[in-house]
Amino acid sequence: MKTLKAWSEVPASFASEAEEARFWQGHQLEAALMQEAVAGADQTESTSITIRFDPRMLARLKRLARSRYLNYQSMMKQWIAERLEREMRD
């Protein structure tokens, strides 16, 4: 089983739920990556914002997060944090 060290190693989309299930049968998240997603930022330093999503996109996000045993908002924050780090390096 391959251990994933970054969210970028996870495909952005799958052709079907069956394909996604096959992917997760052969992959797992590194413990540190899982912990970062679960722990998240300190709530005292967070600011609430509103983002409008197409209902189908939001449903896909929630389904993906659920398959990883994550809160979808935490998963999205992790994705944004990783992308910001990458953009700052370039």
Calpha distance 77→80 (Å, rounded): 5
Per-residue pLDDT of the chain (90 residues; tens, 9 = 90+): 899 888 888 888 888 888 888 898 899 888 877 777 666 555 567 788 899 999 999 999 999 999 988 899 989 999 999 999 888 887
pLDDT number for residue 34: 75
Helix (H, G, I), strand (E, B) or coil at 3: strand
Nearest Cα to Cα of residue 16 among 63, 65, 53: 63
Per-residue pLDDT, 47:
81
Please report the pLDDT score of residue 83 as a whole number: 92
Label residue 40 exposed, middle or buried (CB < 10 Å: 0-12, 13-18, 19+): middle
